[in-house]
Structure formats: structure tokens, C-alpha cells
Amino acid sequence: MGVSQTFVGGIHPHELGNGKQVTGAIAIVDMKAPAKVTIPLSQHVGAPAECLVKVGDTVNLGQVIASAKGAISAPVHASVSGKVVAVGPVTIANGRSVTAVTIENDFEDRWDDSVKPVENPDAESIARLAAEKGIVGMGGAAFPTAVKLEVSQLNPRPDVLVINGSECEPYLTSDHRLMLEAPEQIIDGVLLAMKATGIAKAKIGVEDNKMDAVEALRAAAKEGVEVVALPAKYPQGYEKMLIYALTGRKVPNGGLPSAAQCVVMNVATCAALSAAVRSGRPLVDRIVTVTGHVGKPGNYRVRIGTPLMDLLDAAGGLDADVRKVIVGGPMMGNSIPSLAIPVTKNFGGLLALAEEGIAPEESACIRCGRCVRACPMGLMPTQMDAYIRHDDIENAVRIGVLNCMECGSCTYVCPAKRELTQSFRMAKAMNRMKNGK
């Protein structure tokens, strides 16, 4: 059934008491579409999509409202039918202000004529549909999937399709539920990706604390698709760690998965690719884990552009003791200042924390080395942080801060409670400013 390796470093955050068991056992709930959606035109890696509609226009569900612009971009589709009531700036979860289209829902869910299946799709049409239907990486990076499927110019050509089903962050269970409830759709998406790329072998990595998902995928798997149970270890879902675990190959620092002859996709992305090809359905909704201090923790299928306030209302509202709301998981997610932020394509979780979400006061580094042992990239977090605190960004870069993937493992294990990950984010931002990027 497959042999896996494990990477050096990493951690295993506690699962009990964090909502993971609770939401992992709850079936996906289809959330009712909200009265209005605000759909950002930049919710993917690459150039923002170019708006095609104006205030007053009537749009259909699944209609293209913004077209891809440039080689790396993705179109954006209406997630409800109704009238365009605004085109203007909105703040998204990462703090950026981007252009968005706000649609007033007419609750007719009137599908656009462009939403139709393709008979007997060939490799070219699969990649074309991934582009036309706005499919992007749904595990967090939101890289346009069509670009990943275009491997003909790569040398050497990728020979392994790596599928990420590890979902290693605490609290998050949206992929877990998808693997349990739609394993056939995921496998179909994997086979379509294999056909589009010409890759004959796919490996799906799922952590061994989700053996029910492993067995569901194995039951649905076809020839050439192998499902591997991986040791439960964070950050197993990071593509470099996952590639090593499943193939034994290493991606060099600064390199892409193609350097290890791999293409990496998320299980939710595979399911979305299947829907795009088999029914012509664009990416207009996604599953979001809502958990922590909320009335009804669970996994909700949510329309893209849904305001977080509406999502929280569907999840029973916030408890009175909530001190922080995080988009994503507790390790790599972003705390947010407003509940007006809309759901985007790469939006996997909404986490409400009480006192446990407030960072304790930090103390002096005791040079215990725990951060060094935990770092999956083999960096020296304590030394990088020391340079940064002395405004020596140049030396922090010299010893590898740009290779930090901001997984949060060092911060998690630090007994002095130092905000190491935030320090490295700041250093990388300062380096970009210095170089005019």
C-alpha cells in the first residue's frame, strides 16, 4: 500500500480539545446562499482578473464576471444569480485591498448557459476547462491549476502526480470530510489530471490519523493511483515535505516541485477539476471548517464571496468569550480585524479563539535549540531572529530566512513564547521593500 518517509523536524500539535475530532465527524452542510456576495477579482496567485461587468448588470450563476489576465491568472465567476450592485475595493483575509464585484442575490440560482459538460475530454480540453472554470489550488496557495497541467515544456518531464490529502493543521477538517463523502469525485479529478499531464502514476498522501479517509480513497482508487498513509506530523501538507514523504525526492531551496519531477495538487482541487469537466461547473463554492468558540462547529459548503458574518450566523454565531478570529488554521492562518471579509477560493477554515488565542508575553531566548530541531527546513530560527531584532536583515537573509515557509513550528515549540514566525515574515517583507518588489 505504499512506503513513506518522514522529514526531519516538524511537530505534532495536540488534536484533543481543538475541535478536530468534533468537526471531522460532522457531515458537510450546504449553507444557504447569502443575500449579497462580494467576489474579489484577485483570489489566486498571479495577475488579478479583469472585470467584465458593471453596476446594474444582471448575471447568472456560473457566469464569468472577470477574465484571466496574463499567463498566470484565473477567471472569476458569479456565485449567485442576481444584479451587480457595486464594483469597488474590498479587504481580503491577507489584509490586501483588491477590487471586488458585489452581487445582490435574486435566489433563483439561474445557471449560465456556459455551464455544460464536455463529452470525452482529451488532455488539451481538460487543461482548457481548468483555465476557463477558474480552478485554482484550494489547499492555500491558490495557484492556477491550468498552469500546473501544462507540463509539455518541462525538461525533464514530471513523472509523479502528488496529491495532498494530509490536512495537517489543527482544527481543519474540510478536506477530511470531502475525502469521506466524495472519494470517487476526487479520484476522477486525479485521473483527469493524469490524463492532462501524461503522468502515469499518482500518489495520494493522507495522514494516518484519518484512516477512514485512507480506506475511502483506496476503495475508489483506479489503476495508477496509490493511496499512502503518512505519519501524522505537521507540516506534512507542505509540498516539499509531501514530495519527500511520497517519493523520497528533495526539492532544492528556491525550487519548484517540477525540479523533483512532480506536480502537486490538493484533494479539493481534484474534486473541483472533476466538477469542471464532468458538469462544466466553475469554482463558485468551497467547503470551509468553522470551529472553535462558535455555536455549531462544522464543515460548510459556502458560496465564494460570502461575508464571514453570514457564515458565522449559519454556524450559530460567536461565543461571548471570543478574543480572536483566524482565517485558516492556527499555525499559518491570519487573524482578521473585520467580519465583512469575503470567502475566497483558498479559504479553508474560520477559527474563533478565546483566551487561548492571545499570545503570552515573551521572554529572553534561553538557547534551548527546540526551534532548530523543529524547523522542517533545517534553518536556525533563533539566530535569524537575533539578527532581525538588531535590524540586520542582510545577515538574516544570508543564513536562510527567505527559505522559511512560515509554518509556525518554531513559534509553537518556543518555551520563551517568542513570535519567531512573525519576525521572519517581517524580515522577508523588509527585504522585498529593499529590493523594490
Side-chain-side CA neighbours of residue 75 (13 Å): 20
Distance CA 209, CA 320 (A): 32
CA 204 to chain centre: 16
Side-chain-side CA neighbours of residue 253 (13 Å): 11
Q: Is the dihedral of CA 201, 219, 272, 228 positive or negative?
A: negative
Give the number of other CB atoms < 10 A from CB of residue 22: 14
Phi, psi of 299, rounded to the nearest 5 degrees = -115, 125
Distance CA 384, CA 426 (A): 12
Give the number of other CB atoms < 10 A from CB of residue 272: 30
Question: What pLDDT, on a 0 to 100 scale, did the predictor assign at position 437?
Answer: 62
Tell which residue, 288, 282, 280, has the closest CA to residue 119: 280
Domain ranges of the chain: 1-29+110-358, 370-434
Tell which residue, 409, 434, 4, 21, has the closest CA to residue 206: 4
Q: What is the pTM (predicted TM-score) of this model? A: 0.94
Q: CA 21 → CA 60, 176, 202, 356, distances in Å?
A: 38, 11, 28, 18
Question: What pLDDT, on a 0 to 100 scale, did the predictor assign at position 307?
Answer: 97
Tell which residue, 241, 223, 240, has the closest CA to residue 231: 241
How large is the greatest C-alpha to C-alpha distance in the chain, in angstroms? 64
Q: Are 73 and 44 in contact (CB under 8 A)?
A: yes
Residue 262, by phi and psi: left (phi above 0), alpha (psi -120 to 50) or beta? Answer: beta
pLDDT (tens digit, 0 to 9) for every residue of the chain, 437 residues total? 445 578 888 898 865 444 556 899 999 999 999 999 999 999 998 999 999 999 999 999 999 999 999 889 999 999 999 999 999 999 999 888 999 999 999 999 999 999 999 888 999 999 999 999 999 999 877 999 999 999 988 889 999 999 999 998 999 999 999 999 999 999 999 999 999 999 999 999 999 999 999 999 999 999 999 999 999 999 999 999 999 999 999 998 888 999 999 999 999 999 999 999 999 999 999 999 999 999 999 999 999 999 999 999 999 999 999 999 999 999 998 899 899 999 999 999 999 999 887 878 999 999 999 999 999 999 999 999 999 999 999 999 999 999 999 999 999 999 999 999 999 999 999 999 988 76
End-to-end, the C-alpha distance of the chain in Å comes to 46
Q: Residue 156, preceding bond cis, omega within 30 degrees?
A: yes
What DSSP character marks residue 340?
T
Question: What pLDDT, on a 0 to 100 scale, did the predictor assign at position 1?
Answer: 45
What DSSP character marks residue 162?
E
Q: CA 68 → CA 10, 50, 98, distances in Å?
A: 37, 6, 15
SS3 of 208-221: the string is: CCCHHHHHHHHHHC
The type of residue at 177 is R
Question: What pLDDT, on a 0 to 100 scale, did the predictor assign at position 17?
Answer: 46
The type of residue at 370 is R
Distance CA 233, CA 15 (A): 11
Tell which residue, 416, 436, 403, has the closest CA to residue 424: 403
CA 262 to chain centre: 19
Q: Is the dihedral of CA 219, 221, 222, 227 positive or negative?
A: negative
Question: What pLDDT, on a 0 to 100 scale, did the predictor assign at position 20?
Answer: 59
Q: Is the dihedral of CA 260, 261, 263, 264 positive or negative?
A: negative
Q: Are 115 and 279 in contact (CB under 8 A)?
A: yes
Q: CA 160 → CA 26, 43, 144, 236, 264, distances in Å?
A: 33, 28, 19, 18, 9
Domain at 1-29+110-358, CATH class? alpha beta
